[in-house]
């Protein structure tokens, strides 16, 4: 055994073990929080929201008309297709 190991008391070793156990419990709690389905969904929704804002606004906050117009055209086309399918069935 090394000199530093021999000079530590049982109480010091137990205190180190308790501290390590506390750190490990905190790490497990953090991992549990990060992997919870609601938290994963929240992060995905936030990332999607950020991508949508980045795609539709310039860095200085102005609306990008081309992507917005394209999204509106797609939405109108999908609604039109849905109406057409309902009336022709």
d(CA 18, CA 10): 12
pLDDT tens by residue, 16-68 = 999 999 999 999 999 999 999 999 999 999 999 999 889 888 999 898 888 88
Calculate Rg over the CA atoms of the chain: 28
DSSP string covering 46-77, please? HHHHHHHHHHHB-TTS-B-HHHHHHHHHHHHH
CA angle 10, 11, 16 (to 5 degrees): 100
Grade residue 4 by pLDDT with cuts at 50, 70 and 90.
low
d(CA 32, CA 58): 37
Give the pLDDT confidence score for residue 37 in this predicted structure: 95
């Amino acid at each position: 055994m090394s000199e530093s190991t021999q000079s530590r008391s049982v109480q010091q070793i137990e205190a180190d073990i308790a501290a390590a156990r506390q750190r490990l419990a905190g790490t497990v709690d953090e991992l549990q929080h990060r992997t919870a389905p609601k938290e994963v969904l929240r992060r995905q929704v936030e990332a999607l929201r950020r991508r949508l804002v980045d795609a539709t606004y310039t860095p200085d906050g102005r609306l990008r008309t081309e992507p917005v117009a394209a999204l509106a055209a797609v939405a109108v086309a999908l609604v039109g297709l849905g109406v057409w399918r309902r009336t022709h069935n």
